[in-house]
């Protein structure tokens, strides 16, 4: 295969990949309205339960309502970090391989 043909195939593959990624829906950092409503209902139930517990047991309810360390309620980003790191590693391996092949002159 000639160099020009290889370049065209590589450019076509890259263009196809970018075109496919164009149609992937973007991530939204804000939760949707339904999720917010469910969370608000849960908080309201917890508040009612906390008030009832406070009426029954005065000291224990204050500790139960205290926020816990790192309890943010946000989305778990661990899978995204692992996946991003893996793709970064694969991309770096491809770059290193192409640089090595370019220096040694192998096809």
Question: Is there a domain that residue 20 lies in?
Answer: no
Question: Is there a domain that residue 91 lies in?
Answer: yes
Per-residue pLDDT, 29: 59
| pLDDT tens sequence across 37-63 | 778 888 887 877 766 655 555 545 455
Question: Is there a domain that residue 94 lies in?
Answer: yes
Question: How many distinct structural domains can be found in the chain?
Answer: 1
- Using a pLDDT cut of 90, give the percent of the chain over it: 17
Report yes or no: 61 and 49 within 8 Å, Cβ to Cβ. no
Rounded to whole angstroms, the maximal C-alpha distance in the chain is 83
What value does the mean pLDDT take over residues 10-19? 89
Question: Is there a domain that residue 58 lies in?
Answer: no
Assign 92 a pLDDT band (cuts: 50, 70, 90). very high
Would you say the pTM of this structure is higher than 0.85? Answer: no
User: Is 73 exposed, middle or buried (CB count within 10 Å of its CB: 0-12, 13-18, 19+)?
Assistant: exposed
Please identify which residue in the block is written with the tokens 């508040």.
Answer: 47
Question: Is there a domain that residue 93 lies in?
Answer: yes
What value does the mean pLDDT take over residues 60-84? 69
Give the domain range for residue 102: 80-106
DSSP state, 73? -
Report yes or no: 47 and 61 within 8 Å, Cβ to Cβ. no
């Amino acid at each position: 295969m000639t160099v020009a043909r290889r370049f065209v195939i590589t450019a076509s593959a890259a263009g196809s990949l970018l075109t496919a990624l164009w149609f992937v829906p973007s991530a939204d950092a804000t939760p949707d309205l339904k999720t917010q409503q469910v969370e608000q209902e849960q908080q309201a139930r917890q508040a009612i339960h906390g008030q009832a517990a406070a009426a029954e047991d005065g000291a224990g309810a204050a500790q139960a309502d205290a926020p816990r360390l790192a309890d943010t309620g946000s989305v778990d980003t661990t899978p995204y970090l692992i996946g991003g790191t893996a793709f970064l590693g694969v991309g770096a391996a491809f770059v290193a391989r192409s640089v090595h092949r370019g220096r040694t002159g192998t096809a």
